[in-house]
Amino acid sequence: MQHVLVPREIDPTPPRIGSVVVDAAGLTMGTSWSARVAHDAPLPRLASWLQAELDQVVAQMSHWEAGSNLGRFNRAPAGTWHTLPAEFSTVIAYALQVAAETGGAYDPCAGALVNLWGFGPARRFDQAGFYAPSAAAVKATLAARQAVQYDPATRRLFQPGGVQLDLSSVAKGYAVDQLARCLRMHGIDHYLVEVGGELRGAGVKPDGQPWWVGLEGVPDLADEAATVAALHGLALATSGDYRRYFSWEARRASHTLDPRTGYPIANDIASVTVLHASCMAADALSTALTVLGEVDGLAFADQRNLAARFLLRRPGALSEVTTRAYRDLLQ
């Protein structure tokens, strides 16, 4: 049986007469991006407009690019302040807010821990010679962590020494939002944009149908009921334990780490999908809820009226748990 999610508020404004779907696509952040827009005139520069937005996000926030603003901050000496570009400032401010609200279950300053477990740009878990860190190494990495200071008035970030930022669980969602902003700036109000499977949609297609997308399933246990969502003023992001992982101590060591313990999550969460007006928020919150787990994550989401679906690993099957806001979208 198929489940259908539809937002309660629908903008009735249709695309202009004569509109057709125009597609654009490319590569960014080690993955692909795509855009579908309903427009009544050719858009020969569509791909270049959108690629420029994505290149800016990479130049500022990539932990893979040594020359990015983030890369330079991570290498900066202790006791230094750094003025951030406006875009970087927006993302770090939101990430630090989620970190505070979740009691550290989400942490943009956990890059050293990510690197230790082989999910960063060097000493990768999928390369020859990799081995899981010892308990002593995890303890030492946690003990060495220090808090950054951020001044929103001046957009300055303080490097206390050794802090390694990793914005991979929020920057991609922000990039999707930037694609949407770019399209609106060019007078395009009907679109579906996507980066690495994270999506945001607005308006409808030329035939009046919404931009239907399927919620991501779990590849090794894909027996849950299919769910599709109408991305009309909504963004969607999924965090899953099947993306990057390795076997460790007879269990799955997922790339989703619990910054509070220093270890990969071990809470039976296979995936969490969040629907939100902001893809940046959906991206960060799907990761935060994954770490919080079924009980604390569901409570956190319901308190904030978040539309979220949790898929839990059970013996040979999946169990679905959803929030009230998610169920309100069901048709």
pLDDT class of 280 with cuts at 50, 70, 90: very high
DSSP string, 215-251: PP--GGG--SPPEEEE-SSEEEEEEETTSSEEEETTE
Q: Is the pLDDT of residue 249 over 80?
A: no
| Global confidence as pTM | 0.95
Nearest to 238 by CA among 265, 192, 275, 202: 275
Where is average pLDDT lowest: 53-67, 116-130, 230-244? 116-130
Domain boundaries, the chain: 3-59+170-329, 73-159
User: How far is C-alpha 295 from the chain's CA centre?
Assistant: 21
CATH number of this structure's domain 3-59+170-329, picked from the four choices 3.40.50.720, 3.10.520.10, 2.10.25.10, 3.40.50.1970: 3.10.520.10
pLDDT band at residue 245 under the 50/70/90 scheme: low
| Confidence bin at 223 (pLDDT 50/70/90) | low
Pairing of the two strands 31-39 and 20-28 = antiparallel
Phi-psi map region of 208: left, alpha, beta (phi>0 left; psi -120 to 50 alpha) = left
pLDDT category, 248, cuts 50, 70, 90? low
Which of 251, 62, 300 is CA-nearest to residue 310? 300
Give me the CATH topology for the region 73-159: T-fold (1.10.3980)
Confidence of residue 103 (pLDDT cuts 50, 70, 90): very high
The beta strand positions in 79-226, using DSSP E, are 80-83, 149-151, 156-159, 191-195, 198-202, 212-214
